[in-house]
Amino acid sequence: MTRDPRYDILFEPVRIGPLTARNRFYQVPHCNGMGHRDPSSLAAMRGMKAEGGWAVVCTEMVEIHHASDVAPFVELRLWSDHDIPMLARIAEKVHAHSSLAGIELCHSGYTANNLWSREVPVAASPMPTGSYIYDPVQARGMDKEDIRNLRRAHRKAALRSREAGFDLVYVYAGHGLGIFQHFLSRATNFRTDEYGGSLENRARLLREVIEDTKDAVGDRCAVPVRIAMHEFQGSAGLEPAEVEDAIAMMAELPDLWDLSLSDWSHDSQTSRFAEEGFQEPYIKGVKKLTSKPVVGVGRYTSPDAMVRVIRQGIMDMIGAARPSIADPFLPRKIEEGRLDDIRECIGCNVCVTHDFTMSPLRCTQNPSMGEEWRRGWHPEIIRPKDEDAHVLVVGAGPAGLEAARALGQRGYQVTVADRASEAGGRVARECRLPGLSAWGRVRDWRMLQLAKLPNVSLYLESDMTPETVAELGADHVLVATGAEWLRDGTGRYFLTPAALAEGAEILTPDDVMAGGRPRSRQVVIYDDDHYYMGGVLAELMVKEGYAVSLVTPAPVASAYTKASLEQKAIQARLLKLGVRIVASQAVSAVAADHVTLECVFTGAASRLEAGSVLMVTARRPVDSLWQSLAAHNVAATRAGDCLGPATIAAAVHAGRNYAENFGRPPLDHLEIPFKREVAALS
């Protein structure tokens, strides 16, 4: 296949200072939960992006000094020359595919608690530290000597970056995490000297550090600036007009402007709250201020949208973090005319959650993400079959579809059977809920790929039994039949069922997604799952005219979504819709007309009126077929929610893992199925 001429503009080279990027695809810096702990995994992941056609591939935040320590979060470090070899490995992997390597140098100011280094945090002005962790520490205001030392540290880090082989060396003033943004913003800079007050004064340090960096490495390296266009703090914080004024003051000084929003929750909004291109209103005025290339993001997966923003003069290069995670080969697929092979980001932010949990990056759409080095997985390539075999996959949900796709790609004969009338399993049901339509891409992409594999057959409305499995005569059986929601109140707070009165109406998410609705207009949703489901169902119910109380043992609604950057947006939406949020309470009993609540702190009981109760607590594997096969001495394997209910991302990964290991001798239980790095003792 050949490239559509409409997209030729995306593959034009772009001059960035002394360098030339081979096309307009720019992987902006993004976190990944690996950092200095897992450098080989990190390097392999970045190298994969370069192989996939991204002309510029950047690191995440790189701490430039031991007093900019953001532990427990795992980012990169460039504290001393000892860190250079680790970083050089990343640049080498990127250069191996003719891409430019960028490094985002960062001092996090008052958002660095220095928990590992135990240094006193510093800030533009004295204030409590502002990390995502509430640590009882305050940052001291910087004096002139501190500012001189910060400039020295940044310059030294730039020189080390050049020595490590990086082509672009960032000055970072974005996401509320960079100290140069803290100086620039009236919300965090209360100084009365030449570094505070007027915009010119507040921009002084940013200008000085850009000049320092250009002087240090600008002969060989490009110097981009990543800057926050909006802080969403009203008149107290940065707004687009003021940031544009700041950019105009130094428009030609850096080699590239990389535009973002602040904080991270605004910059990486989920598809539940923002459409593709949602940042355009905030960044569209910058290009007219400078002749230097402008990079913007907006979760772009449509090449038509990419062409539009370039032709409209909004940006020169298509910045991406999440779309490059979902499909590292997105540029090559556009170039080769394979648009239907693009694995589009669904905007769920499961990638973000694993930076918050300090664990390796993963993706709902791309199960190879983070596994490039650890397991040797590739997003586009998988080893061919060892010998002929016929595999029956029972269940066409995320685990079953991914297993079938990957097994089919390997060359095996695959039969997929599902009792439902449509493929997709939980994805097919959940993508119909408010705000989750983009999640259907998980099913849609895999169905498109299966349609291209003549060795894979899909049979819907096929309820498999041990007898029909035996009739098919497959060599191996994978059972991926998913899980079902419990209706007895068992969850994280209560590990045993609640007291349920006869006649009480109790529903589960499965009931609602199948079209069932409460008889009573007064509904209590009991959310002891703490992810998206409880909040989504509350939104659905209240929009359909129900009076909804959301009860949760957590202090806030949908508590886990703090890690996906959605919690505030979810709670705000629910409150605006009129949902009553009853926090720090657990449902201990359900009667026909009320529930009994237990305070998670005191154990005190209280009563809450409810005609119907929707339990969103825990799930049970649907593994009856697997149990029956075992009883008939038929060897079968479970995967996905059928084995252990978890996220859609975990189910997709389980399907890929099954396909990758099919045909290999099973590992002993004590063997580690992936590589890991262990520090050598000095």
Structure tokens at 311: 């032709």
Per DSSP, 623 falls in state -
Catalytic residue among 30, 65, 154, 175: 175
Our answer to whether residue 175 is catalytic in this structure is yes
Q: Which amino acid is at 477?
A: V
Prior bond to 143 cis, omega within 30? no
Count how many residues are written for the chain.
682
3-class SS of residue 390: strand
The answer for residues whose C-beta is within 8 angstroms of residue 640's C-beta and 6 or more apart is 395, 397, 398, 399, 400, 480, 482, 650, 651, 654, 655
Q: Which amino acid is at 121?
A: P
Catalytic residue among 31, 106, 351, 363: 31
Residue 67 phi/psi, 5-degree rounding, is -95, 15
Helix pair angle (567-577, 532-543), 10° resolution: 20
- Residues 442 and 303: their CA atoms lie apart, in Å, by 19
Our answer to whether residue 267 is catalytic in this structure is yes
Structure tokens at 612: 């119907």
Q: Which amino acid is at 605?
A: A
Residue 39 to residues 2, 84, 362, Cα–Cα distance (Å): 36, 12, 16
Per DSSP, helices labelled H in 262-302 are: 264-267, 280-283
List, in sequence order, every residue forming a beta bridge with 118; answer none if it has no partner: none
The answer for residues whose C-beta is within 8 angstroms of residue 627's C-beta and 6 or more apart is none
The answer for residues whose C-beta is within 8 angstroms of residue 86's C-beta and 6 or more apart is 36, 39, 76
Catalytic residue among 83, 212, 255, 267: 267
Catalytic residue among 170, 172, 526, 532: 172
Per DSSP, helices labelled H in 228-368 are: 240-249, 264-267, 280-283, 303-311, 322-326, 330-335, 350-356
Among all residues, which ones are annotated catalytic? 31, 172, 175, 267
